[in-house]
Amino acid sequence: MPKVSIWSRGQIGFSVGAINRFKLDEYDYVVFMFDPDERKIGFLFTSDENEEGVVKLNKRDTGIIVGAKSFLDYYNIKYEETTQYTLKHDKVTELYVINLNEADGEEGKEDFSEEDQGST
């Protein structure tokens, strides 16, 4: 399964499975998008460094890592604990999407929107 992790240090990691399935290594940058009503993060992958809002992809043997702390903070998306999601491709919008309400094995859990989840 293609996986995306939001790490406790404010980074987003794309698994080797996600890279291989969606050929993400063909791109150099990503633009983050957020739908607050559906609580979904969209990823627009591009090789155009002049695209508005691009963030450089850090390609490693174990996956792709992207710094996302300011994005996560701006939209108040909690990342105190590392959480994993399944990456899906929306063929209509051409975005790659994760649903924050569907953490791996915990569909419907809204751990990223709860104020009383513990440490800050």
Q: What is the pLDDT of residue 117?
A: 29
Q: What does pTM read for this prediction?
A: 0.84
> Quick one: tokens of 108?
């419907």
The domain locations on the chain are 3-107
Q: What is the pLDDT of residue 98?
A: 98
**Nearest-5° Cα angle at 93, 87 to 81:** 30
Residue identified by tokens 């939001």 is 6
Tokens 């710094």 locate to: 67
- pLDDT score recorded for residue 105: 55
pLDDT at position 2, please? 95
Label each residue of the chain as H, E or C: CCEEEECCCCEEEECHHHHHHHCHHHCCEEEEEEECCCCEEEEEEECCCCCCCCEECEEECCEEEEECHHHHHHCCCCCCCCEEEECEEECCCCEEEEECCEECCEECCCCCCCCCCCCC
Mean pLDDT per 10-residue run, the chain (120 residues)?
A: 95 97 97 97 97 96 96 96 96 94 61 31
